[in-house]
Amino acid sequence: MKQKILTRLKSTQKPVIINGAGMVGETVLGFCRDNGIAVAGFCDGSLKVEGTDFHGFKVMHTQRLKDHYPDALILVTAAAIKDVVDMLREEGFEDWVAAGPLLEDLDVGQNSPALDFHKFSVETCIICHAGYLNPERAFLRSIDLIITERCSLKCKDCSNLMQYYENPKNVALDLLFQSVDALCLALDEIMELRVIGGDAFMNKQWPLVVEKLLGEPKIKRVVIYTNGAIVPKVDHAPLLKHPKVLTIATDYGALSSNMDKLIHYFVEHGIAHRILQVDSWLDCASLEKHERSKEDNAKVYQDCCAKNMLSLSDGKLFRCPFAANADRLSAVPEFNGDYVDVLAAVSSPAGVAGAGRKIMDYVLNKGALEVCDYCNGRPLSGVEVKPAVQTEEPLSFRKFPRIQPIHQYEK
C-alpha cells in the first residue's frame, strides 16, 4: 500500500495538496520533501487556519480549494478521514490518497513519561487510515461513552445538552459494561473510547469503567474528558497513568476551579494529559422542531461537523452527542431508525457478525437523522457563541412520551 501511494504521488501530473494543517500534516510534508514529492499547498476544513502561513504555504479552506486547484490530488492526513473524504466528495474531489500508510515506518513509541502528542497524533493517523482503507474490518475511529448526565458546570450552550437535565444521574455500571461488551463483540477494533458526560469525574465509578475499557484489547485508547473542577484521588493516578489513557481537561478559566491543582496532579504523577483552551463555541444546543423539508434537513446534516461523533448511550449507538442526549432526555419522539441498538443487535439471530455489519452500515451509509430537524446543526461556518456561559436553572424543553423507558441509573 505504501509503495503504491508513493508511486502515485511521484508520478502524478496533478498538484499535490496536503489536507490538514496540523502536526500530522507537518510530518507528511517532511516525508514528501524527503521523498522528492512536490507539494503545491495545504488545505484545511477549519476556518480558523484559513489564510494562515503553514511552513511557507498559505492555508486554503477545503471548500475553496476548487478555486485554486480544481484538479488537485489530495493527501489526507486527518485521523477523521471519513469526514474529510465526505467533504472532498461534496466539493467534487474524487482524487485523494490516505497519508497513514506513508507514515507506518516512523517511530511513534512513547519514550518519555509526558505524552509526546506529535507521536500520538501520527500513530492515530496510521491506525485510523488502516482501518478506513480496509472495508472488511469493522473499525471505528472514536466513540463517546456517556457514563453520567452530571456535570459540575451547567453551560447554557453545552452541545451535549447537559443544561436540560433536571435531575441528572450516573448511568448504571451493569448497563455500561454490557454496552461495552456488546460493542467489542460486534466490532474488530475501536481506536478510542471517550469517557464522557457531563464531566466523567462526576461519576465516582469512573475508575471501574476505565479499568473495564483497558481490559478490552480491541480498544486502543481511552480518553477521559473533564472540565478542571475535580481532582481525582491519588489512588487513581496509576490508572490514569496507563499508557492507553489520555485525560483531556477543558480550561474554562475561573469556572475550572481546580485546574491548577489538576495540572499539578497530572505532572506530579506523570499522567498523559492535554489542556484545551476554547475561545468560541458553535450555537448548536437549542432543542426545537424546525419543520424543515427533507432536502433542507439533509443539507443541515451534510454540513454538520458532528455527524460522525458516535455516541453510545444505554447500549444504543447514535451518530452524535446531540442525538444521544435528545433521546435520553425524551426531547424528541422515539426515532428508532436514528440509532443502532447494539445490545439488541448482538443477541439477534444475525449474531455478532450481523451486528458488526449493521453498525458499519449505519456509520458509513446512514444519512440525515429525524432528530436533525430538532437541531440547529453544527456547520463549521455556523454562528458562534461565548463558551461556558452558565445557567442557574435547567433549561426547559418539550418532553415526548416514551413507550420503552430503558434508562438504568446507578442506585
Task: Give the residues lining the site for ligand SF4 (CB under 6 A).
Answer: 151, 153-155, 158, 160, 162, 197-199, 227, 300-301, 304, 306-307, 319-320, 322-323, 369, 371-372, 375, 377-378, 388
Q: Is the CB of 39 or the CB of 87 nearer to ligand SF4?
A: 87
Q: How far is CA 66 from CA 10, 63, 300, 391, in A?
A: 22, 7, 22, 43
> 85 with 79: CB under 8 angstroms?
no
Dihedral sign of CA atoms 388, 394, 398, 402 in order: positive
CB of 48 to ligand SF4, least distance (A): 19
Q: Which is nearer to ligand SF4, 16 or 151 (CB)?
A: 151
Whether the Cβ atoms of residue 402 and residue 330 lie closer than 8 Å to each other: yes
Minimum distance between the CB of residue 362 and ligand SF4, rounded to whole angstroms? Answer: 12
CB of 123 to ligand SF4, least distance (A): 27
CB of 169 to ligand SF4, least distance (A): 15
Nearer to ligand SF4, 276 or 353 (CB): 276
**How far from 337 is each of 69, 139, 213, 364, CA to CA, in Å?**
39, 22, 28, 15
Contact between residue 96 and residue 85 where contact means Cβ atoms under 8 Å apart? yes
Q: Facing residues of 250 across strands?
A: 276
The angle formed by the CA atoms of residues 274, 275 and 277, to the nearest 5 degrees, is: 135
Q: Which of 1, 29, 30, 34 is nearest to 16 (CA)?
A: 29
* Beta carbon nearer to ligand SF4, 134 or 293: 293
Q: How far is the CB of 219 from ligand SF4 (least distance, A)?
A: 22
Please, which residue, 62 or 311, has the CB nearer to ligand SF4? 311
CB of 162 to ligand SF4, least distance (A): 4
Of residues 211, 226, 143, 153, the one with CA closest to residue 182: 143
Cβ of residue 287: shortest distance to ligand SF4, in angstroms? Answer: 10
Q: Which is nearer to ligand SF4, 176 or 346 (CB)?
A: 176
How far, in whole angstroms, is CA 151 from its chain's centroid? 19
* End-to-end Cα distance, the chain: 51
CA distance 114 to 295: 48
Nearer to ligand SF4, 155 or 213 (CB): 155
Quick one: 130 or 153, whose CB is closer to ligand SF4?
A: 153
Per the document, the length of the chain is 411
| Distance, CA of 297 to chain centre | 22
Smallest separation, CB 318 to ligand SF4 (Å): 8
